[in-house]
Amino acid sequence: MAECGASGGGSSGDSLDKSITLPPDEIFRNLENAKRFAIDIGGSLTKLAYYSTVQHKVAKVRSFDHSGKDAEQDHEPPYEISVQEEITARLHFVKFENTYIEACLDFIKDHLVNTETKVIQATGGGAYKFKDLIEEKLRLKVDKEDVMTCLIKGCNFVLKNIPQEAFMYQKDSDPEFRFQTNHPNIFPYLLVNIGSGVSIVKVETEDRFEWVGGSSIGGGTFWGLGALLTKTKKFDELLHLASKGQHANVDMLVQDIYGGAHQTLGLSGNLIASSFGKSATADREFSKEDMAKSLLHMISNDIGQLACLYARLHCLDRVYFGGFFIRGHPVTMRTITYSINFFSKGEVQALFLRHEGYLGAIGAFLKGAEQDNPNQYSWGENYAGSSGLMSTSPELCPTQRTRSGTFDLLEMDRLERPLVNLPLLLDPSSYVPDTVDLTDDALARKYWLTCFEEALDGVVKRAVASQPESADAAERAEKFRQKYWSKLQTLRHQPFAYGTLTVRSLLDTREHCLNEFSFPDPYSKVKQKENGIALKCFQGVVHALDSLGWEERQLALVKGLLAGNVFDWGAKAVSDVLESDPQFGFEEAKRKLQERPWLVDSYNKWLQRLKGPPHKCALIFADNSGIDIILGVFPFVRELLFRGTEVILACNSGPALNDVTYNESLIVADRIAAMDPVVHSALQEERLLLVQTGSSSPCLDLSRLDQGLAVLARERGADLVVIEGMGRAVHTNYHAALRCESLKLAVVKNAWLAERLGGRLFSVIFKYEVPAE
């Protein structure tokens, strides 16, 4: 969030520079490449949306051209790496007070270079008020869009693309936000928009929705009556008064009417029997705070009962609330939540949205960009460029509710390919990728945040070392350090800023920040070197395995998988060893492994299964480059192929730590095929297929996978899923329930986590699961 001071006018961006502490180009980022605009202007806030192209560095790998050479040189790496510029699409959303609109429009006008459009889509009541100003400043024609259509389109977009967009609000919990995992099918739902009045809309599909009801008693009623009662003209100040009030001083409660007899009626004595009931008979003045609280309860209860009745009438259990009455205010969220819970007897949940304030701007943008068909893509929140959800507790920060002079930012990156659920999930609607919720677990949160802080120096050092030819690498790496450190401090105080806090979200935020400062693949040279070393050992490892008896070989293959998984540069216990002992290799890693019985050990059950018929098709999610993929995974793949099982080998689409990428896996597989006839024929006959996951994370979310992978898994009838590595099989998916057999295996390379799981460093998890019939 960028803090601001007083606003001013002016004909350039100078006034904006003076009124905010963050440079304007850190708020309106990539503005020079903006192609399309939309704006949503409400009574007090403006939300600007624009689409831009972002140029960033990517590390590309490709095989050497050996035409005209007799053979490769022994010392030559297995492939070459080049850093290239790539252009991707990004959506930017900026929210600011209407006070700043002229200064912001001036800044945008001065920095527009490559815009492709002559039109700006506009929605909200202020679109009419500011139409002439926008057209004059930006020289773009204002096209006004229907408010409700924009809200629905925006709501659909965030629910589809931001996995933890919706939350329940629980005032007395720590934290107060309880995030919901999005249902794979977001429809149908009820949207209750509380502006001046109340609109209730039933949304059935992307394009089909209907207004089913509403009320004239809404946010405007609270504001208007509140102003008459308290002489307070500002909405946020009125809510602040309400947060300090005691409504029972003004309201007549059930116990005030029935005394102790209320229990025989089955009613709570604290229920409101009559809003403002005491004011008719009491001969005294009431405080502004108490009257504001009573008014808030009266209107919230009315809206809650109305929403509950419409939800029941249309058989809907998902009800999302939005509008300026909500806008992240804890007191309104609490009273709405209580009301819905009371009237539905807990059957309907009140759900709120992290990005509720942006729905209109997102919808207006989508309306204007229909020819680009943005809905055919998947989008992902860029944590590096987004403000996140701020704490809304008035007790913690009484001045923040005014939101005076703050700019909220949201950035969404367009992903290369559509992401979908893995069809092998047992119940996609209840799937939660992450094993531990750090938002809930304060002890784990403190440990992991400290762990990531302590690892920061090493990441910075690795980033600089990955670009020795770059003159500004050290400067960019320092900016990365500051940005990620700042994110970690935000998450210490507001662990809910980007949804549920998990080890996965901490890792992903770090990757986003590295990309932000053009460090696309800090481990590219490490991976290149380790892949080269491991390829030279492949034939020897396979020869040794082939010389073993069948049962002895099965255990050796599993131990090879586990030993390979030790080579994880993301684990400090491992990176310390690898940096201090360059000779540490495959055999040394095997000796590090815990002896059987392992911490989680269902190997005997797995061995018995192998004595049965072969699996039809195995889907394997690989982890690290080098020894892991080449000496651990590929011999295991080779054995499955030999048994008659087809294999889909899935690797990350983009880089993260030293994890193997899809493009690297293609080169590695090609090199192995040149040495091994089993792998060679399987590739030729498409019994071994290499695919990308659609992810650039060290963890794995099975609800957001590349569509091509999902289609292939279904077409090939995958009946075994193998997930390896601490990030994919322990931090995520440890409890994932699948429709088919699964193998989750990892070496625990973190002493604190190992102790928590009841083991020690380098404990082994080998979890073979068969779904219940």
CATH number, domain at 118? 3.30.420
Tell me which amino acid residue 703 is: S
C-beta separation of 428 from 705 below 8 A: no
Which of 36-40, 182-186, 262-266, 481-485 has the highest average model confidence (pLDDT)?
481-485
Number of H helices, E strands in the chain: 28, 26
User: What per-residue confidence (pLDDT) applies to 396?
Assistant: 32
Sign for the pseudo-dihedral over CA of 366, 372, 374, 379 = negative
User: What per-residue confidence (pLDDT) applies to 11?
Assistant: 38
User: Which 8-state DSSP code applies to residue 570?
Assistant: T
Q: For residues 391 and 405, give the distance between their C-alpha atoms in angstroms, rounded to a whole number.
A: 16
Q: Following CA atoms 417, 422, 427, 430 in sequence, which dihedral angle do they give, to the nearest 10 degrees? A: -50
Domain count within the chain: 4
Please provide residue 3's backbone torsions phi and psi, each rounded to the nearest 5 degrees: -80, 145
User: Using 50, 70 and 90 to split pLDDT, how confident is the model at 22?
Assistant: low
State the average pLDDT over residues 144-172: 92
Is there a single domain that holds both residue 469 and residue 404? no
User: What per-residue confidence (pLDDT) applies to 404?
Assistant: 35
User: What per-residue confidence (pLDDT) applies to 269?
Assistant: 79
Going by their DSSP bridges, the two strands 209-215 and 198-203 should be labelled as: antiparallel
State the average pLDDT over residues 483-505: 94
State the average pLDDT over residues 49-61: 87
Is there a single domain that holds both residue 194 and residue 154? no
Q: Residue 656 pLDDT > 50, yes or no?
A: yes
Residue 726 lies in a domain: yes
Q: Residue 24 pLDDT > 90, yes or no?
A: no
Sign for the pseudo-dihedral over CA of 592, 597, 603, 608 = positive
User: What per-residue confidence (pLDDT) applies to 81?
Assistant: 87
Is there a single domain that holds both residue 614 and residue 748? yes
**End-to-end alpha-carbon separation of the chain, Å?**
51
Tell me which amino acid residue 625 is: S
Q: Would you state the structure tokens that stand for residue 119, as one six-digit string?
A: 């039109």
Q: For residues 391 and 408, give the distance between their C-alpha atoms in angstroms, rounded to a whole number.
A: 13
Q: Residue 259 pLDDT > 50, yes or no?
A: yes
Q: For residues 667 and 78, give the distance between their C-alpha atoms in angstroms, rounded to a whole number.
A: 8
State the average pLDDT over residues 326-334: 86
C-beta separation of 628 from 530 below 8 A: no
Q: For residues 369 and 566, give the distance between their C-alpha atoms in angstroms, rounded to a whole number.
A: 47
C-beta atoms surrounding 304 within 10 Å: 25
Q: For residues 497 and 439, give the distance between their C-alpha atoms in angstroms, rounded to a whole number.
A: 10
Q: Residue 419 pLDDT > 60, yes or no?
A: yes
Distances 515 to 54, 382, 689 between C-alpha atoms, Å: 11, 10, 29
pLDDT tens string 75-132: 678 898 888 888 889 999 998 888 889 988 888 888 876 677 889 999 998 888 899 9
Residue 399 lies in a domain: yes
Q: For residues 75 and 389, give the distance between their C-alpha atoms in angstroms, rounded to a whole number.
A: 51
State the average pLDDT over residues 612-616: 98
Nearest CA to 256 among 238, 282, 234? 282
User: What per-residue confidence (pLDDT) applies to 18?
Assistant: 41
Identify the burial level of 695 via C-beta atoms within 10 angstroms of its C-beta, where 0-12 means exposed, 13-18 middle and 19 or more buried.
buried
User: What per-residue confidence (pLDDT) applies to 15?
Assistant: 47
Domain of residue 581 covers 543-769
Is there a single domain that holds both residue 470 and residue 600? no
Percent of the chain surpassing pLDDT 90: 67
Is there a single domain that holds both residue 458 and residue 557? no
Domain boundary among 481, 516, 551: 516
Q: Where are the beta strands (DSSP E) in 42-140?
A: 45-62, 80-97, 119-123
Q: Residue 481 pLDDT > 80, yes or no?
A: yes
Continuous segment of H or E residues that includes residue 650: strand 646-651
User: Using 50, 70 and 90 to split pLDDT, how confident is the model at 12?
Assistant: very low
Is residue 302 classed as helix, strand or coil in its secondary structure? helix
Going by their DSSP bridges, the two strands 349-353 and 318-322 should be labelled as: parallel
pLDDT tens string 383-401: 999 988 864 433 333 333 3
Is there a single domain that holds both residue 625 and residue 704? yes
Distances 396 to 64, 122, 337 between C-alpha atoms, Å: 60, 35, 21
Q: For residues 243 and 394, give the distance between their C-alpha atoms in angstroms, rounded to a whole number.
A: 7
Residue 686 lies in a domain: yes
Q: Residue 20 pLDDT > 60, yes or no?
A: no
Distances 187 to 168, 207, 431, 533 between C-alpha atoms, Å: 18, 11, 18, 51
Q: Which of 7-11, 239-243, 479-483 has the lowest mean pLDDT?
A: 7-11
**pLDDT averaged over the chain?**
89
Residue 280 lies in a domain: no
State the average pLDDT over residues 215-225: 94
Q: What is the largest CA-CA distance in the chain?
A: 104
Identify the burial level of 740 via C-beta atoms within 10 angstroms of its C-beta, where 0-12 means exposed, 13-18 middle and 19 or more buried.
buried
Residue 599 lies in a domain: yes
Q: pTM of the predicted model, to two decimals? A: 0.90
Q: Would you state the structure tokens that stand for residue 712, as one six-digit string?
A: 């292939």
Domain boundary among 353, 388, 404: 353
Is there a single domain that holds both residue 224 and residue 297? yes
Q: Residue 552 pLDDT > 50, yes or no?
A: yes
CATH number, domain at 487? 1.20.1700.10
User: What per-residue confidence (pLDDT) applies to 595?
Assistant: 96
C-beta separation of 335 from 297 below 8 A: yes
User: Using 50, 70 and 90 to split pLDDT, how confident is the model at 710?
Assistant: very high
Residue 528 lies in a domain: no
Name, in order, each residue with C-beta under 8 angstroms of 122's C-beta and a sequence gap of 6 or more: 38, 39, 40, 41, 131, 134, 142, 143, 144, 145, 364
State the average pLDDT over residues 46-51: 91
User: What per-residue confidence (pLDDT) applies to 2?
Assistant: 37
Residue 108 lies in a domain: yes
Nearest CA to 586 among 609, 568, 607, 560? 560
Percent of the chain surpassing pLDDT 70: 92
Is there a single domain that holds both residue 111 and residue 218? no
Domain boundary among 335, 353, 371: 353
User: What per-residue confidence (pLDDT) applies to 307?
Assistant: 96
User: Using 50, 70 and 90 to split pLDDT, how confident is the model at 371?
Assistant: low
According to DSSP, the residues that pair with 210 across neighbouring strands are 202
Q: Residue 73 pLDDT > 60, yes or no?
A: no
CATH number, domain at 209? 3.30.420.40
pLDDT tens string 576-592: 887 888 888 899 999 99
User: What per-residue confidence (pLDDT) applies to 76?
Assistant: 77
Is there a single domain that holds both residue 656 and residue 753? yes
State the average pLDDT over residues 658-662: 96
CATH number, domain at 665? 3.40.50.10880
More reliable by pLDDT, 757 or 30: 757
Q: For residues 306 and 349, give the distance between their C-alpha atoms in angstroms, rounded to a whole number.
A: 14
C-beta separation of 95 from 124 below 8 A: no
Q: For residues 122 and 142, give the distance between their C-alpha atoms in angstroms, rounded to a whole number.
A: 6
Nearest CA to 673 among 684, 663, 664, 662? 684
Q: Would you state the structure tokens that stand for residue 642, as one six-digit string?
A: 């030999």
C-beta separation of 224 from 217 below 8 A: no
C-beta separation of 240 from 400 below 8 A: no
Q: Where are the beta strands (DSSP E) in 425-538?
A: none
Is there a single domain that holds both residue 756 and residue 609? yes
Residue 265 lies in a domain: no
Q: Residue 1 pLDDT > 50, yes or no?
A: no
Please provide residue 761's backbone torsions phi and psi, each rounded to the nearest 5 degrees: -55, 135
Is there a single domain that holds both residue 394 and residue 307? no
Q: Residue 461 pLDDT > 90, yes or no?
A: yes
State the average pLDDT over residues 64-73: 50
Is there a single domain that holds both residue 154 and residue 195? no
User: What per-residue confidence (pLDDT) applies to 502?
Assistant: 96
According to DSSP, the residues that pair with 93 across neighbouring strands are 49, 410
